[in-house]
Amino acid sequence: MSDPNPTHFHQLPPLSVPDGTTGAGNSTAKLVTLAHVREDAPAGIGHNGLTDEQADVLRNSIRRVRSIQRQIDRLNRDKSAVYTALKGFGIDPGLVRKIAYRLTLSATELKAIHERDEQLAALWSAAEGLQAEFAAEDEADRAAADAAD
């Protein structure tokens, strides 16, 4: 089995460790990265194990992802405002979400959902009388509990 930390690698100390310097009587902490660094890294490889080109690609990618996330956040706030406005007109935002979702589906997927909705309606129709029965049972249970108190 190979050593997980071969001798040509060394692990940097944890983030924010004392660097041994002092200023105005206080020990200061040096910000260091958490990474494995190859001691025998080829020329052009930085302290983080990346070439300058790789580091640039990484930084630009992170900037792009952050920009996209900020756009998503703005769009989500806009979408929330639309749902709030719908609610003000007495329209159930949850139903609008379902409609918007269903508009993204293929004809086959939509047909399957319609069939399921029809099955649910048929089953509900058959079981609908149970609601009144259960309500009567619940009322009888409450009345018995009240009488016992």
CA distance 30 to 20: 9
Domain residue spans of the chain = 9-44, 50-91, 105-149
Quote the pTM value: 0.48
Query: For 100-116, what is each residue's pLDDT tens digit?
Result: 999 999 999 999 999 99
What digits encode the pLDDT tens for the residues 48-91?
788 889 989 999 999 999 999 999 999 999 999 999 999 999 99
87 versus 35: the higher-pLDDT residue is 87
- DSSP-derived pairing of the beta strands 17-23 and 9-11: unpaired
Of the candidates 30, 35, 31, 33, the one whose C-alpha atom is nearest the C-alpha of residue 10 is 35
The DSSP output letter for 9 is: E
